[in-house]
């Protein structure tokens, strides 16, 4: 690996803006290419100007959700959310922090990236958490990492992309990724619960009447995520359209319903939101430009080939190397680019080691998300540093406990693959039962049990299936070829009944009988000696006419 990786780390540590680091390294990498025809700065624009980036709905979604977050943060929305959260969860230690985790996961699911969540949800709940008494260290770490598990929940677009590339049903993919995502959410909520106890955050007595009043008071804000969810799940709106609807709705609510903001304040909010959005988009653009060089130099392939050349020959070795590889990849690429570039490369290897496709999906997405919040070059760390005006080194320190929890969750997923597959065990059983009923190979079950290199040529996963159907899954063809040929017992089935008349087989038998008789008689008037074959054919013919 070239020395520019070390340069990135050094420049980042001394405080150079991330977009300048990525853009500068991209330029230096191309100018230092081994091929003379590639030593041009124009190559950094190749991925930035193509449709995947320039026409991406994320470029519109980021400013819109940023605007929504700023509108709510500058109004009295945090106070209303704090009151509602305290009423519903205030009796629990860490109630508002748990709300932050759930809301962050939800928004990450909708946007496909936790960077937007830091801006929209983190910006909204950060002041509320601080006012309730949570420490600066815990609060900053929480809002930076709380959305990590959201990539695994419906309707995460990354799960859709994975299902498409891996050739598995997207509905089953969401079923499989839900339990691991829930596990990570429980771990973070448990930490929030413990922090609430340790920090002595005040807890209120549960009051059902107060719960009703608080929820009614915040009903307009609660409708904002509901509007986005309904628009996306029903298919009435795309991601950018739902973000625009949320922005217009929030603007109307804050200005005309609650009247928390004046138009002069709205202008200031819009200016601040667009400044932040512009900075984030520039960072993404430079990251995309650097991706172009990474792809050109085949850096992901080189990393994997290095491990393969050093004796990787067992499934556990592959999974270990895979997680290291994906973690490094998450520091170099955005999630969508990593999926599109690395997954086609990983599928043949994962197929060789018979990795469960949903286990691979969870490991893939979690590693990418953990890499985003891991020092020193995790992208979300820089977004958080910019959004909350904190030195990047401070953000490094506060996220470490949360990164450890996420790594623990990933470790549990790695050592217990059933966490990623038990939700589809019923689908596998149904596929096998249907195949057994039809007397064919359970190919649909194989697609759910192990990664398939070619979805048009499905292969078995278990030793039992390999023994029965062969390693290529074509045993059924061999078994059919070995079946005995039809005998005289099936002749009656060719006749539809005694009254059906002479069929083609009858005519053939008559012709055979007649030709034999003619061929064996030199004199038509001379008597013919009995022929055993003639008698056999006559018996078969009579049997056919009489229905057996």
Structure tokens at 338: 């990593």
Residues 506, 460 within the same domain: no
Question: Would residue 245 count as lying in a domain?
Answer: yes
Q: 140 pLDDT exceeds 90? A: yes
- Asked which of 172-181, 222-231, 267-276, 303-312 is least confident by mean pLDDT, the reply is 303-312
355-391: per-residue pLDDT in tens? 999 999 999 989 988 888 888 778 788 888 888 888 8
Question: Would residue 44 count as lying in a domain?
Answer: no
Q: 490 pLDDT exceeds 70? A: no
Question: Would residue 511 count as lying in a domain?
Answer: yes
Residues 504, 459 within the same domain: no
Q: Which structural domain range is residue 243 located in?
A: 56-261
The residue among 279 and 195 whose pLDDT is bigger is 195
Residues 172, 235 within the same domain: yes
CB-based contacts of 247, cutoff 8 Å, min separation 6: 64, 65, 67, 68, 71
Please tell me the distance from the alpha carbon of residue 41 to that of residue 26, in angstroms, as a whole number. 8
**What is the band of 548 on the pLDDT scale with cuts at 50, 70, 90?**
very low
Residues 443, 541 within the same domain: no
Strand, helix or coil for residue 9: helix
Residues 141, 219 within the same domain: yes
Mean pLDDT within 299-306: 68
Question: Would residue 329 count as lying in a domain?
Answer: no
Own/partner contacts of 1-6, CB < 8 Å, gap of 24 or more, are 1/299, 1/302, 1/303, 2/29, 2/297, 4/28, 4/29
Residues 151, 235 within the same domain: yes
Structure tokens at 510: 């008559």
Q: 47 pLDDT exceeds 70? A: no
The Cα-based distances of 483 to 94, 478, 479, 493 in angstroms read 69, 9, 7, 19
Please tell me the distance from the alpha carbon of residue 134 to that of residue 101, in angstroms, as a whole number. 14
Question: Would residue 240 count as lying in a domain?
Answer: yes
Please tell me the distance from the alpha carbon of residue 536 to that of residue 517, in angstroms, as a whole number. 14
Indicate the residue among 208, 226, 261 that finishes a domain: 261
Structure tokens at 205: 């007595």
Number of domains in the chain: 3
Residues 198, 219 within the same domain: yes
DSSP 298: T
Other Cβ atoms less than 10 A from the Cβ of 346: the count is 22
Mean pLDDT within 145-154: 83
Please tell me the distance from the alpha carbon of residue 421 to that of residue 466, in angstroms, as a whole number. 21
Which pLDDT belongs to residue 137?
Answer: 92
User: Which of 177, 183, 97, 186 has its CA nearest to residue 142?
Assistant: 97
Residue 256: is it exposed, middle or buried by C-beta count within 10 angstroms (0-12/13-18/19+)?
exposed
- Asked which of 305-319, 407-421, 451-465 is least confident by mean pLDDT, the reply is 305-319
Which pLDDT belongs to residue 288?
Answer: 66
184-194: per-residue pLDDT in tens? 999 999 999 99
Please tell me the distance from the alpha carbon of residue 220 to that of residue 505, in angstroms, as a whole number. 82
Strand, helix or coil for residue 125: helix
Which pLDDT belongs to residue 82?
Answer: 65
Strand, helix or coil for residue 522: coil
Please tell me the distance from the alpha carbon of residue 423 to that of residue 176, in angstroms, as a whole number. 6
Please tell me the distance from the alpha carbon of residue 231 to that of residue 513, in angstroms, as a whole number. 78
DSSP 475: H
At residue 173, φ and ψ (nearest 5 deg) are -65, -40
Whole-number CA gyration radius for the chain: 34
CA angle (256 as vertex; 250, 260 as ends), nearest 5? 75
The residue among 366 and 15 whose pLDDT is bigger is 366
Structure tokens at 88: 């519903």
Structure tokens at 219: 């009903």
Question: Would residue 513 count as lying in a domain?
Answer: yes
Mean pLDDT within 427-448: 88
Other Cβ atoms less than 10 A from the Cβ of 430: the count is 13
Question: Would residue 135 count as lying in a domain?
Answer: yes
106-133: per-residue pLDDT in tens? 777 755 567 777 877 788 788 888 888 8
Residues 83, 164 within the same domain: yes
User: Which of 268, 242, 258 has its CA nearest to residue 76?
Assistant: 258
**What is the band of 400 on the pLDDT scale with cuts at 50, 70, 90?**
very high
CB-based contacts of 110, cutoff 8 Å, min separation 6: 155, 225, 228, 229, 232, 239, 242
Name the one residue in this structure whose structure tokens are 């596990």: 183
User: Which of 497, 126, 165 has its CA nearest to residue 342?
Assistant: 165
Residues 538, 514 within the same domain: yes
**What is the band of 9 on the pLDDT scale with cuts at 50, 70, 90?**
low
Which pLDDT belongs to residue 302?
Answer: 73
Which pLDDT belongs to residue 524?
Answer: 41
Question: Would residue 229 count as lying in a domain?
Answer: yes
Mean pLDDT within 36-45: 66
Residues 136, 187 within the same domain: yes
529-543: per-residue pLDDT in tens? 445 555 555 555 555
**What is the band of 476 on the pLDDT scale with cuts at 50, 70, 90?**
low
Residues 150, 233 within the same domain: yes
Residues 536, 463 within the same domain: no
């Amino acid at each position: 690996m070239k020395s520019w990786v070390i340069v990135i780390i050094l420049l980042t540590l001394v405080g150079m803006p991330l977009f300048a680091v990525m853009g500068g390294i991209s330029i230096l990498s191309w100018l230092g290419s081994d091929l003379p025809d590639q030593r041009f700065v124009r190559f950094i624009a190749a991925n930035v100007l193509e449709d995947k980036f320039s026409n991406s709905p994320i470029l519109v979604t980021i400013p819109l959700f940023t605007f929504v977050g700023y509108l709510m943060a500058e109004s009295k929305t945090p106070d209303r959310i704090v009151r509602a959260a305290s009423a519903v969860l205030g009796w629990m230690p860490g109630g508002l922090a748990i709300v932050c985790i759930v809301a962050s996961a939800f928004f990450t699911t909708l946007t496909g990236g936790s960077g937007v969540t830091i801006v929209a949800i983190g910006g909204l709940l950060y002041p509320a958490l601080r006012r309730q008494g949570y420490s600066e260290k815990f609060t900053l770490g929480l809002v930076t990492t709380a959305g990590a598990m959201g990539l695994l929940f419906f309707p995460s677009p990354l799960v859709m992309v994975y299902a498409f590339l891996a050739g598995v049903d997207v509905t089953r993919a969401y079923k499989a990724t839900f339990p691991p995502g829930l596990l990570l959410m429980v771990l973070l909520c448990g930490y929030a619960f413990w922090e609430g106890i340790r920090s002595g955050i005040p807890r209120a007595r549960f009051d059902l009447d107060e719960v009703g009043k608080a929820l009614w008071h915040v009903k307009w804000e609660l409708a904002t995520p509901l509007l986005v969810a309904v628009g996306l799940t029903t298919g009435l709106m795309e991601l950018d359209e739902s973000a625009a609807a949320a922005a217009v709705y929030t603007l109307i609510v804050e200005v005309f319903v609650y009247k928390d903001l004046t138009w002069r304040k709205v202008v200031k909010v819009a200016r601040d939101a667009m400044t932040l959005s512009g900075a984030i988009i520039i960072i993404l653009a430079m990251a995309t430009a650097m991706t172009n060089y990474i792809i050109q130099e085949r850096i992901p392939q080189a990393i994997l080939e290095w491990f393969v050349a050093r004796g990787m020959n067992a499934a556990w070795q592959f999974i270990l190397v895979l997680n290291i590889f994906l973690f490094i990849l998450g520091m170099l690429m955005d999630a969508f680019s990593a999926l599109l570039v690395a997954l086609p490369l990983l599928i043949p290897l994962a197929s060789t080691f018979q990795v469960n496709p949903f286990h691979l999906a969870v490991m893939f997405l979690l590693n990418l998300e953990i890499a985003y919040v891991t020092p020193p070059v995790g992208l979300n760390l820089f977004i958080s540093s910019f959004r909350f005006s904190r030195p990047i080194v401070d953000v490094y320190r506060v996220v470490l406990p949360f990164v450890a929890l996420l790594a623990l969750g990933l470790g549990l997923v790695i050592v217990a693959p059933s966490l990623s597959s038990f939700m589809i065990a019923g689908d596998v059983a149904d596929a096998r039962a249907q195949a057994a009923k039809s007397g064919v190979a359970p190919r649909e079950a194989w697609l759910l049990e192990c990664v398939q290199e070619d979805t048009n040529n499905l292969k078995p996963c278990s030793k039992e299936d390999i023994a029965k159907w062969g390693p290529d899954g074509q045993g059924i063809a061999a078994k059919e070829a070995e079946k005995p040929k039809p005998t005289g017992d099936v002749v009656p089935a060719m006749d539809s009944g005694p009254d059906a008349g002479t069929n083609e087989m009858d005519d053939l038998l008559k012709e055979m009988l007649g030709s034999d008789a003619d061929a064996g008689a030199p004199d038509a008037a001379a008597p013919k000696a009995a022929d055993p074959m003639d008698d056999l054919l006559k018996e078969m013919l009579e049997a056919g006419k009489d229905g057996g």
